[in-house]
């Protein structure tokens, strides 16, 4: 009953999201004047509006919460005013509010941090006391707030039962999921995100997916939730070591990439034949029906589940053409993935940020080819083009061939993919110095490692768009770091690859693409 009560409270709170409805906070502090978290959030709202006096009053009411999250003492000269309006005339703590201003874009995440620091429900928070003392002398004042300071974190190792939440900027939704989930299940919940491109239009999966923060709960609706912070922009505190999470997130990314490759291939088969494949080997037939060169064991095991998903989706008239989690993947739809360790490849639940079929975009201004799913850039490759000779518009991959013209080191390299039955193609090259230049007769040239990875990830029927200025500049997005360009997201030894289980060469044909 206690857990159900907490969940009901959380859901009621989110019906009045303070980010979308700041007036709700004013009403809330009137009804709950001892609720320091609400005072702090209201102070942040006033600070963002430049109302320093009102902000100072609210921060003073929030007490140790302000000190914990702003890492400084509250100093207000003179007696504390009795109301926010009076505070605007007497408060002089401009330094305090100046630090708050300018963090608006992290406000949703701040709400997350504050709420996660509350071990019980919003309306049933307890006094802040050391954990050992709390066990020995539980507080009788249920109206005060228990605060875990940012540097009070537990060990940094990833433990069994870790759940991964991929944020696409929807911190409010992830907040609700984490809080509701942690109230009933023990373990660590990690919120991750990938950087956005400089123009804000793309999520650059190819660059990195990094942990933002995590909360570890005992799952009993109980006494504490431990926070860890992994990025300096969300906390003025000591940043936790995320090295234990790196292999977990890497494996999760590989799983998601394999899943979207399989789903895209099955939809391509459907577009080509009029029906979904009934067996996995139908996806790796010999040339010219070679959608994929072969399937890994993981993809073979995933095939029945994916087939059921696509059939269920097709049975719903008017549904958008994107994959939806199966009924048994309720947590997947909520964005959580439970893992048992770095080597776990098939979790009990998984998030599906890669929902739309893979497609190729080629920017002739930047000489970049990107493999995308929706607004997520999965791979980004430098390419060689032909200037005005390279056609612009929409195409599909109509043919895939290994070792065109019978060799892997010829003018077309080791792989080639024809565009809409024309003499234009995406292929390798024996002139790697031409990458990034306009030296072809219209085709798209790629480095060998890059074309071999792309060949394994896309199928016949994959949409290809060629145009000017349609992709962001590689590596120019937020956060800096690696541009994630090339095979394996810049790490060729980690390239996506499929086993060869069919004959996808065509030695009897002489290819005359416009190299």
pLDDT tens-place string over residues 357-372: 999 999 999 999 999 9
**Ranges of each domain in the chain:** 2-244, 252-333+346-515
Strand ranges for 383-496 from DSSP E: 393-402, 415-419, 425-427, 444-445, 463-467
- Grade residue 229 by pLDDT with cuts at 50, 70 and 90: confident
Highest mean pLDDT among 234-248, 340-354, 398-412: 398-412
Output the pLDDT for position 181: 66
**Given this model, what pLDDT does residue 72 score?**
53
Instruction: Show which residues are catalytic.
Output: 427, 443
More confident residue, 434 or 7: 434
Per-residue pLDDT tens digits for 185-216: 678 888 899 999 999 999 999 999 999 888 77
Summary mean pLDDT of the chain: 75
CB-count burial class (<10 Å; 0-12, 13-18, 19+) for 184: middle
Three-class HEC string of 254-269: HHHHHHHHHHHHHHHH
Contacts 24+ apart (CB under 8 A), 11-20: 11/176, 11/180, 13/122, 14/172, 14/175, 14/176, 17/172, 18/45, 18/111, 19/107, 19/108, 19/111, 19/172, 20/172
Q: Which CATH architecture best describes the domain 252-333+346-515?
A: Beta Barrel (2.40)
Mean predicted confidence (pLDDT) in 426-433? 96
Residue of higher predicted confidence among 242 and 158: 242
Give pLDDT, residue 480: 66
């Amino acid at each position: 009953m206690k857990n159900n009560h907490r969940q009901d409270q959380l859901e009621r709170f989110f019906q009045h999201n303070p980010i979308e409805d700041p007036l709700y906070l004013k009403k809330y502090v009137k009804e709950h004047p001892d609720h320091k978290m609400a005072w702090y959030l209201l102070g942040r709202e006033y600070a963002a509006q430049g109302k320093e006096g009102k902000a100072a009053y609210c921060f003073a009411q929030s007490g140790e919460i302000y000190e914990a999250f702003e890492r400084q003492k509250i100093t207000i000269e003179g007696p504390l005013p009795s109301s926010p309006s009076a505070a605007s005339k007497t408060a002089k703590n401009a330094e305090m509010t100046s630090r708050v201003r300018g963090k608006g874009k992290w406000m949703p995440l701040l709400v997350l941090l504050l709420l996660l620091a509350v071990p019980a429900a919003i309306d049933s928070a307890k006094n802040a006391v050391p954990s050992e003392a709390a066990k020995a002398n539980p507080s009788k004042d249920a109206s005060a707030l228990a605060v875990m300071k940012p540097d009070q974190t537990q060990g940094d190792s990833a433990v069994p039962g870790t759940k991964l939440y991929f944020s696409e900027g929807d911190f409010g939704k992830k907040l609700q999921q984490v809080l509701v989930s942690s109230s009933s299940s023990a373990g660590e919940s990690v919120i991750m995100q990938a950087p956005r491109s400089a123009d804000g239009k793309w999520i650059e999966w190819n660059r990195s997916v990094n942990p933002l923060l995590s909360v570890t709960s005992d799952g009993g609706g109980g006494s504490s939730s431990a926070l860890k912070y992994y990025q300096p922009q969300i906390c003025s505190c000591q940043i936790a070591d995320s090295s234990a999470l790196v292999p977990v997130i890497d494996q999760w990314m590989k799983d998601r990439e394999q899943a979207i490759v399989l789903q895209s291939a099955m939809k391509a088969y459907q577009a080509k034949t009029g029906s979904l494949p009934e067996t996995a080997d139908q996806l790796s037939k010999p040339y010219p029906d070679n959608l994929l060169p072969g399937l890994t064991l993981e993809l073979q095991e995933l095939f029945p589940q994916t087939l059921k998903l696509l059939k269920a989706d097709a049975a719903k008239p008017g549904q958008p053409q994107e994959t939806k989690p199966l009924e048994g993947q309720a947590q997947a739809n909520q964005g959580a993935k439970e893992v048992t360790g770095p080597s776990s490849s098939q979790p009990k639940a998984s998030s599906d940020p890669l929902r739309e079929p893979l497609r190729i975009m080629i920017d002739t201004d930047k000489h970049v080819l990107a493999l995308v799913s929706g607004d997520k850039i999965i791979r980004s490759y430098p390419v060689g083009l032909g200037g005005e000779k390279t056609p612009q518009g929409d195409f599909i991959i109509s043919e895939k061939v290994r070792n065109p013209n019978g060799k892997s080191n010829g003018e077309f390299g080791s792989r080639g993919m024809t565009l809409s039955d024309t003499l234009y193609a995406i292929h390798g090259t024996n002139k790697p110095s031409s990458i990034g230049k306009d030296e072809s007769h219209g085709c798209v040239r790629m480095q060998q490692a890059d074309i071999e990875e792309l060949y394994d990830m896309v199928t016949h029927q994959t949409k290809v768009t060629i145009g000017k200025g349609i992709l962001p500049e590689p590596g120019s997005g937020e956060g800096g770091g690696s541009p994630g360009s090339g095979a394996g997201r810049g790490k060729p030894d980690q390239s996506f690859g499929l086993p060869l289980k069919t004959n996808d060469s065509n030695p009897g044909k002489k290819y005359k693409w416009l190299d």
